[in-house]
Structure 1
Amino acid sequence: MKKGLFSLASLLLIGNLTMAQKVEFEEYDLDNGMHVILHQDNSAPVVTTSVMYHVGAKDENPDRTGFAHFFEHLLFEGTENIERGEFFKLVSSNGGKNNANTTDDRTYYYEVFPSNQVELGLWLESERLMHPVINQIGVDTQNEVVKEEKRMRVDNSPYGKFLENVKVNLFKKHPYRWTTIGEMEHLDAATLEEFQAFNAKFYVPNNAVLVVAGDFNKADVKKMIQDYFGPIPRGNDIVRNFPKEDPITETIRAKAYDPNIQIPAIIAAYRTPSFKDRDAYILDMISTYLSGGKSSKLYKKIVDEKKMALQVGAMNFSQEDYGSYILFGLPMGEVTLDAIVKEIDEEIVDLQTNLISERDHQKLLNQFENQFVNSNSSVEGIANSLARYYMLYGDTNLINNEIDIYRSITREEIQAVAKKYLNPNQRLLLEYLPEEKSNN
């Protein structure tokens, strides 16, 4: 009966997939080098305008970390034609919403408006690019905002420095070794001229992709784009030549301390290739196999059956230049960190030694098919995907055919990639511990 239900679920999922429409888009370049992607969908009166800049934490000076994330905030301060503090008011008063986010690789700004406000969205983004006001008042204001964000999300959050400690131990040369939010003393020490120079270098049209997705008239929007973005001068070409990491050939052992936790964690992290590499897609599948839900291998064995851990997980933290494959566990009661590692390693060795079952393989394919359908279910999500695939992968049409990569992954490849990357001599073993209290 279970097999019949499983087959029925597979057929229903395939049926849903065939109904998922191909994302049609048009892309072209302005004379100043800005890339433009248009996705017209007139099914609902909503439009997303967005700009992704190819600038992230990895583009910072090691002594000035946090600049990229700081600009995510700073460029909402105002422009020559938008008074300070008015950016968000203009959006909300016209029925829209907006936000921005930063990673080590890129910064993304977007607005979602009723479709009759598409021109406002384009004007706002052109103002951010062409006429930003970067002055000491704005820098001082956002400095306090970023500090509060760091206190809330990192310094005072349980396990808030989890990724920070993985990165600093896993990367020794590449700028992925520091955090996206950066060091506050670096921001405090920075001069206004340094902020202005960062803007002049990276916030240029030839380092950006503009996406308009949703309900709009293509001819009208093309004219608006030319009018608002065409006159912006091209910037200097950005040359990146980041140092390469040496291979990890023996276990890196480290400890980190967190005053906000009572339960320790053990983390095993492996340096892996760029998310553009086929192996990264396979590692995505391995993560889902190991910890994608309560029926996954690690959760079922270590949490559910043996009751050795409160939580276990596996995640493939993929980035443009390298990835970090992270396994972790929080022990239950008197269970040791070493015991958790032993259990996790047994599952990895099994993955390296034996092919996963055909049933598990099909289950993985179904899960990724479902994710694919959901990722293209809104114009807001489509806009983000179009920008990301163009900017970071160099192939906009991955929005339609990336799922074919997952579909083509075999059980043999899953075994081979586990053998290639997930070995004890190629990893960081990090004990993440409650901070020891002083007796003084």
Structure 2
Amino acid sequence: MTNKLKLIFCSLLVGAAGFAQEVEFTEYELENGLDVILHQDNTAPVVTVGVMYHVGAKDEQPGRSGFAHFFEHLLFEGTENIERGKWFDIVAANGGSNNANTTQDRTYYYETFPSNNLELGLWMESERMLHPVINEIGVETQNEVVKEEKRSRIDNAPYGKIIYATGINKYVFDKHPYKNSVIGTMEDLDAAELDEFKSFFQKYYGPNNATLVVAGDINIQDTKKMIAKYFSEVPKGPEVERVEIEEEPITETIEATEYDSNIQIPAKLFVYRTPSMVDRDAYVLDMISSILTDGKSSRMYKKMVDVEKTALQVLAFPRSQEDYGTYVMGALALGDTPLDTLAVSMDEEIEKLQTELISEKEYQKLQNKFENRFVNSNSSIEGIASSLATYSVLYDDTDLINEEIEIYRNITREDIKRVANQYLQENQRLELDYLPESAKE
């Protein structure tokens, strides 16, 4: 009887978890082109207001790298109705939190408030869209902030060039702007004139290039009225031309060396150019990453860390992007292990994927991992808001918040073998030796 009760209880928990993942939403568009997505969840008195603009580092002009990320900072400076430097104070004084982030493809701003401050969040984001103050003092202030961020996150951070891809993408992309880093160069920002910042805002920050998401403890009809009040009068911006640059396939191994004064342990990396994040094969590559390095039972970890003891750590992960992706594999050398030894071990694991189907047991374990990840993927209102915006802006399919798991469920063992053969070839990759600065001597 006890075991039966436990089984029933577990079944109820699983059913509840699965049900909780069904994210209902309402989506519509204002006359000015602003895409609006609303998700009502009244279980907790909190609400997230987020705006994702379809502009990222890839949209910058040559010689003006870092603009998109710079705006992530600049648009917290203040507006015509929010005093300079007071944005964060207003949010904190009303029990909220806020942040922003930038990628190659989009920029996202959000606030999370107690739900009785929903209107404040909507007003603040409409102010950011309609009345930002872009002046010399704001540009100069944020220039110093961005410089310090670059120093702390990239220049002085161990393996910063790998984490932020500044030491990778320049080799994998020749023509596409993905070759530039999101944070850009300080020389480009220093050289920019104030009018260039104003022009960038006018070009990309119109409502027709944005998606507004409101998620949490809301009433749909009341929220629609508030959105109309604060956003319907925002004038439509110019039509945005999307980047359409095709790269020639990589047909010969690219060999490169990068040095980092902040590390003592060298690393060997393989980097491949892969398809767009919307391509089904990008999902297969995600699964391949899990096979190779997800946890201590993963193939590369067991082989290189546990058995051979040649690697201190291993990694394999896709960087999914709108136009192209990259796939990074690597290992940190243990002791005096030559980097060539690490390369041989990694190639052996790639070859296994290319020549043998993974076992049914490993396949089922893989599916269980992704089912569990799906169940936990939208466990917060902030996470749901971000996911809704991302699927709408970058995938053009908001329904993926509920349906993406079906893509993973339908990936077969044969798909894994095929994709490993199609994308993880030696002549299609960058082979990067990532060394301490002292190795130059």
Shift of 1:17: 4.7
Which of the numbers 343, 354, 357 marks the counterpart of 2:356?
A: 354
Compare 376-385 and 26-35 and name the one that shifted more. Answer: 376-385
Flag structure 1 segments of 5+ consecutive residues without an equivalent: 1-9
Which of the numbers 385, 388, 391 marks the counterpart of 2:387?
A: 385
- Are 1:190 and 2:200 an aligned pair? no
Question: What residue identity is the alignment partner of 1:246?
Answer: E
SS of the residue 1:173 aligns to: coil
When residues 431 and 15 of structure 1 are mapped into structure 2, their CA distance, relative to the original with a 3 A threshold, is same
Shift of 1:384: 0.3
Compare 371-380 and 194-203 and name the one that shifted more. Answer: 371-380
Aligned length: 432
1:213-257 per-position Cα deviation (integer Å, ceiling 9, x unaligned): 000121111111001000000011101243211001110111111
Shift of 1:18: 3.1
Preserved CA contact (<8 Å) 1:201 1:235:
yes
Aligned residue number for residue 6 of structure 2: none
1:175-194 per-position Cα deviation (integer Å, ceiling 9, x unaligned): 00010000001000000000
Aligned residue number for residue 397 of structure 1: 399
Question: What is the TM-score of this pair, normalised by structure 2?
Answer: 0.96
- Are 1:373 and 2:391 an aligned pair? no
When residues 293 and 437 of structure 1 are mapped into structure 2, their CA distance, relative to the original with a 3 A threshold, is closer
Preserved CA contact (<8 Å) 2:21 2:402:
no
Q: Distance in 2 between matches of 1:170 and 1:369?
A: 32
Preserved CA contact (<8 Å) 2:18 2:375:
no
Preserved CA contact (<8 Å) 1:17 1:369:
no
1:188-218 per-position Cα deviation (integer Å, ceiling 9, x unaligned): 0000000000000000000000000000121
Preserved CA contact (<8 Å) 1:22 1:400:
yes
Shift of 1:374: 1.0
SS of the residue 2:274 aligns to: strand
Q: Distance in 2 between matches of 1:14 and 1:303?
A: 35
Question: What residue identity is the alignment partner of 2:140?
Answer: D
Aligned residue number for residue 308 of structure 2: 306
1:120-172 per-position Cα deviation (integer Å, ceiling 9, x unaligned): 00000000000000000000000000000000000001111122111000000
Aligned residue number for residue 60 of structure 1: 60
Question: What residue identity is the alignment partner of 1:192?
Answer: L
Q: Distance in 2 between matches of 1:20 and 1:195?
A: 43
Question: What residue identity is the alignment partner of 2:151?
Answer: R
Aligned residue number for residue 91 of structure 1: 91
Question: What residue identity is the alignment partner of 2:249?
Answer: P
Q: Distance in 2 between matches of 1:101 and 1:217?
A: 28
Question: What residue identity is the alignment partner of 1:145?
Answer: V
Q: Distance in 2 between matches of 1:18 and 1:437?
A: 52
Q: Distance in 1 between matches of 2:237 and 2:400?
A: 28
Compare 26-35 and 154-163 and name the one that shifted more. Answer: 154-163
Preserved CA contact (<8 Å) 1:281 1:405:
yes
Aligned residue number for residue 4 of structure 1: none
Aligned residue number for residue 103 of structure 1: 103
Aligned residue number for residue 46 of structure 1: 46
Question: What is the TM-score of this pair, normalised by structure 1?
Answer: 0.96
Q: Distance in 2 between matches of 1:359 and 1:13?
A: 25
When residues 373 and 438 of structure 1 are mapped into structure 2, their CA distance, relative to the original with a 3 A threshold, is closer
SS of the residue 1:239 aligns to: coil
SS of the residue 1:165 aligns to: coil
Preserved CA contact (<8 Å) 2:253 2:427:
yes
Preserved CA contact (<8 Å) 1:275 1:320:
yes
1:242-284 per-position Cα deviation (integer Å, ceiling 9, x unaligned): 3211001110111111111111111100000001000000000
Question: What residue identity is the alignment partner of 1:351?
Answer: L
SS of the residue 1:363 aligns to: helix
Q: Distance in 2 between matches of 1:377 and 1:135?
A: 40
SS of the residue 1:104 aligns to: coil
1:25-68 per-position Cα deviation (integer Å, ceiling 9, x unaligned): 00000000000000011111010000000000000012010000
Which of the numbers 344, 347, 364 marks the counterpart of 1:345?
A: 347
1:1-36 per-position Cα deviation (integer Å, ceiling 9, x unaligned): xxxxxxxxx989965653434110000000000000
4+ long deviations beyond 6 Å: 10-13
1:99-138 equivalences under 5 Å are: 99-138=99-138
Question: What RMSD over aligned residues (CA atoms) do the two structures have, in Å?
Answer: 1.6
Preserved CA contact (<8 Å) 1:13 1:366:
no
Aligned residue number for residue 315 of structure 1: 317
Question: What residue identity is the alignment partner of 1:198?
Answer: F
When residues 331 and 413 of structure 1 are mapped into structure 2, their CA distance, relative to the original with a 3 A threshold, is same
Preserved CA contact (<8 Å) 2:21 2:375:
no
